[in-house]
Structure 1
């Protein structure tokens, strides 16, 4: 009887794992769909766009971990609260999910810069023995990317207008002696 139950359980596992994997594989967009979701062209120089992306990410609560204007790469992580966990083998620890972003800013031509963003949700675990990233889950929500690009476009618009305005000229002030 036990062998029959074990065999039935194994058969169910063998059948269900490929179905589960296939279902989740369908959720992931193709490479072309992912590129369309994650990248936008912006009508501005790389210098302006790079600063705008940095500003938007910081305003969204991301701590910039690295940024290099020459390569166009920016990485950041957002702060989240952790929760206490317990495991029989390792004891007490902490677990949390943190949003991570990477951005690539590339000059495509005169006045055209491409921005590609990648958002992931990282699961972090820590025990007295170790800590660090455990798993990452890509974020494919179009609203997340659309919102980010709208904010980047607004920041670019503001930066361009600030640069287009001439510096204030000193006015002839009357001096009283």
Structure 2
């Protein structure tokens, strides 16, 4: 096969890909329209799952919360007992993936295939969880903790484009487990 014939075949494949692209977009959108989205929680619903009361002093709850964050692998960025505010971040996880813009069953169309870019470079995706805690003493030996976990992800393409996505974790079980661990840490502190 001559170079000229090979280049002509590549151009035909690119044109076919561009002509079929609207079909794939339409099919992809039709498939997405049937997906049920959960309604976002209201601020009161979030506050209910993110808050918990403990029958002990602010200093004990504060120390227990820092201890639990560290046990879970978080790095404490800031902690101020006077304001009751703690910020922490989990370790960053990185993952390489191919740049797939459409997937229909087993068929994948890579952006590089459409543009003719033969240099197959990956997209780097990194993610981590940010955590905040606000600890406030409501009255003597009654302290409230409000936790907030946010999943942050960053995608970097080989062309230098960065996309960041932050999503509040609304799963009640995540917060229940964290509060159980804080309760356990408080119990250990109170028996010593």
CA contact (8 A) 1:98 1:124 kept: no
State the match for 1:100 in structure 2. 130
CA pair 132-98 structure 1, distance change in 2 beyond 3 A: farther
Q: 2:78 & 2:162 partners in 1: Cα distance?
A: 18
Which moved further from structure 2: 101-110 or 117-126?
Answer: 117-126
CA 1:127–1:64 in 2, change beyond 3 Å: closer, same or farther?
farther
Q: Aligned equivalents of 1:128 and 1:75: distance in 2?
A: 32
- Given that 1:124 and 1:131 are in contact with CA atoms closer than 8 Å, whether structure 2 keeps it comes out as no
Considering Cα pairs closer than 8 Å and 6+ residues apart, tell me whether 1 or 2 has the greater RCO.
Answer: 2
Question: Aligned residue for 2:71?
Answer: 59
The RMSD of aligned alpha carbons is 3.2
Who is 1:145 aligned against?
A: 175
TM-score by length of 2: 0.65
Gaps of 5+ in 2: 1-21, 100-111, 113-120
**Partner SS for 2:41:** coil
What residue number does 1:34 align with?
46
CA shift in 2, pair 1:129/1:58, >3 Å: farther
Quote the offset at 1:158 in angstroms.
Answer: 1.1
Shift of 1:131: 9.1
Offset of 1:125 from its aligned partner? Answer: 3.2
Deviation sequence 1:78-114 (CA, Å, 0-9, x none): 11420235777xx765212212211111111100010
Secondary structure class of the residue paired with 2:93: coil
Task: Classify the secondary structure of the residue corresponding to 1:61.
Answer: coil
Partner of 2:58: 46
Comparing 71-80 with 37-46, greater Cα deviation is found at: 71-80
CA-to-partner distance for each residue in 1:97-149, whole Å, 9 max, x for gaps? 21221111111110001000111111123468979881111111111111110
